[in-house]
Structure 1
């Protein structure tokens, strides 16, 4: 199959900036990972995105952009164009000339029960600014086929699992965990399509808690949580949510879980308890998998919280928990890499999602290609 050099762009539910990554791939078995970069959003712009979530609740159709969302979409797109320019200027172009861009955009609303998912990002404008074809809007077709529209990364996880180095290549089933604002898991067994679903709150509640109670955007290195204790009753209340009893496929909006259950805790206890919740929710996801995992590979910003990682490692039954880096991967860039991989799959008409990952009625291709 023909290979492409692709750039993937991801701005996730943590809303902290833009991840960029470059791949050389055939969109199937061949994956050669290239350079990656992160461009952070300054605090003021991050606040603008957070504030836009309230406006986004008024959206009924995917194309609606009430209030200031149209202006914000344009600015997000221009920031992505600038990030690509900086990425190529800082050496990525030396690895390969990009053929295509996979553009996720910024999710501001995800309501699968309404068949609506909205990612702010103008693919046509990005193609014009970069002079490269841009594949975007990759969730919509899945939802039209009855899927949840998320997660989309599992197709890439399955490709990565096939190429894990020893000794990890012999440990199956393997589960990839991405801890962003929302955590999601991908189960890759010995055969068959991957199984995937959102597992519960990741960093979002922790970030919201320390921002509200401590005036800081996130708990860097878990320092705040290190001064606190886990309050088991709070975790039990969260885990009592019916979401956790449902088998996948299932997906979450960033606002589906709130701080209500943590009200009354002190700053440090809240940070520690919400970190423990993130780990407990991930491990609870194993109840909905065909076999008990032998290996958990953790990606995303949440892997930098030592309390989440310690809880995962201490409580995973008969399984090893490792960082993506332990397997030679980049835990910060895997979602961006996935968007590069999916862009190539899209151009070839290959499925991006499967009934076992999103609940779509049949394996679903997707994406819209904008020409420069």
Structure 2
């Protein structure tokens, strides 16, 4: 049985950017954050990344055995290096996401991970929410609420995650709990790093635009940015979520541009999408804290600072580790799941009522 009070949970995340696996320990009772533990990272090799990329868009029942093995083995190798852990959260790798349609597919068997590590593992975090009519994403907002409390915030703030896909969480830390009415609003803002990474891989054989170096040399084609923003998604009220390849047609919009202009334009588009997202929030936040790989792109960060109506800073400005926030989130959610606490709510995923989720493998 899971002991009461604060425990040490190991969370993992393999995001849509397909760069690798993050792992982080968090000390929590599922409500408050008591402390942060060690972290580690295991990159995917070029071959592994190619296999995972080839599996994108595939569903349960499709042949994803090789991709699943890569995801599971990478996680097991990384997680085995942590000691003194009571519980683990294994997110797996999202291959396809179509709430209201075929559902959601996070590749990777948590039972195999639990058996290999000898640890209780919570996994398949999104399926229950989708089955109940929710979007199944984003799920980090309950953790963002706890972070805002930990930071001592006394006014609404936004956590902006710029991974493969962008998502934001508007948090009012003055509310009593994350599932309280008016405590949270969260949704996917639009594409973030995934189109830039795809461009760099296809044209230059590079996994990313490091430090925004290519974009810095280019000019933003505002006509393309504005044309992209005419998609009704950007004015649709939350909750709403995206698949990594929802906007696959974006590649065609920049196909005739030079490498530099294409990179600059694909850097400006996520910023414009975030600006549209901030306009949908209940009130203007006091500050936007940026996490995910996008915060390491100085060109994207400068564009955000110029476009948003409030101060913008990486989450490190609040004493947090932006590389590990999502991994920590799934450690936190694993504790809540194991204790039967809500991990999603109507204002986040559109599910009808606050609900828990996830499957537990291994003995508590």
TM over 0.5: yes
1:131 match: 118
Decide whether the 8 Å contact of 1:142 with 1:353 is kept in 2.
Answer: yes
Alpha-carbon RMSD across the aligned residues, in angstroms, is 1.2
Question: For residues 23-46 of structure 1, what are the alpha-carbon distances to aligned partners after superposition, in whole Å with 9 as ceiling and x for unaligned?
Answer: 110000234111111110011110
Gaps of 5+ in 1: none
1:38 match: 41
1:281 match: 273
Query: Is the counterpart of residue 358 in structure 1 residue 349 in structure 2?
Result: yes
Query: Is the counterpart of residue 255 in structure 1 residue 242 in structure 2?
Result: no
Give the superposition deviation at 1:206. 0.6
Task: Say which of 55, 61, 66 aligns to 1:65.
Answer: 61
Q: State how far apart, in whole Å, the 2-side matches of 1:47 and 1:348 are.
A: 37
Give the superposition deviation at 1:74. 2.5
Helix, strand or coil: the match of 1:277?
helix
Query: Is the counterpart of residue 315 in structure 1 residue 307 in structure 2?
Result: yes
Q: State how far apart, in whole Å, the 2-side matches of 1:70 and 1:263 are.
A: 33
Does 284-293 or 18-27 show the bigger shift? 284-293
Query: Is the counterpart of residue 164 in structure 1 residue 151 in structure 2?
Result: yes
Give the superposition deviation at 1:216. 1.4
Task: Say which of 286, 296, 314 aligns to 1:294.
Answer: 286
Give the superposition deviation at 1:261. 1.8
Q: State how far apart, in whole Å, the 1-side matches of 2:31 and 2:237 are.
A: 28
Decide whether the 8 Å contact of 1:115 with 1:143 is kept in 2.
Answer: no
Moved over 6 A (4+): none
Give the superposition deviation at 1:280. 1.3
Q: What is the TM-score with the length of structure 1 in the denominator? A: 0.92
Q: State how far apart, in whole Å, the 1-side matches of 2:259 and 2:328 are.
A: 35
2:315 match: 324
Give the superposition deviation at 1:79. 1.6
Q: State how far apart, in whole Å, the 2-side matches of 1:4 and 1:120 are.
A: 27
Give the superposition deviation at 1:184. 0.3
Decide whether the 8 Å contact of 1:18 with 1:41 is kept in 2.
Answer: yes
Decide whether the 8 Å contact of 2:162 with 2:294 is kept in 1.
Answer: yes
Q: What is the TM-score with the length of structure 2 in the denominator? A: 0.94
Question: For residues 127-178 of structure 1, what are the alpha-carbon distances to aligned partners after superposition, in whole Å with 9 as ceiling and x for unaligned?
Answer: 110000000011111112210000000000000001215xxx34x2100000
Decide whether the 8 Å contact of 2:100 with 2:133 is kept in 1.
Answer: no
1:175 match: 158
Question: For residues 258-307 of structure 1, what are the alpha-carbon distances to aligned partners after superposition, in whole Å with 9 as ceiling and x for unaligned?
Answer: 21221211100111111111111112101211111120000001111111
Q: State how far apart, in whole Å, the 2-side matches of 1:44 and 1:241 are.
A: 35
2:258 match: 266
1:349 match: 340
Decide whether the 8 Å contact of 1:181 with 1:203 is kept in 2.
Answer: yes
Decide whether the 8 Å contact of 1:145 with 1:362 is kept in 2.
Answer: no
Decide whether the 8 Å contact of 1:176 with 1:187 is kept in 2.
Answer: yes
Task: Say which of 69, 72, 76 aligns to 2:71.
Answer: 76
Question: For residues 70-117 of structure 1, what are the alpha-carbon distances to aligned partners after superposition, in whole Å with 9 as ceiling and x for unaligned?
Answer: 2321231122111112x32xxxx3xxx100100000000000121510
2:104 match: 117
Q: State how far apart, in whole Å, the 2-side matches of 1:354 and 1:33 are.
A: 25
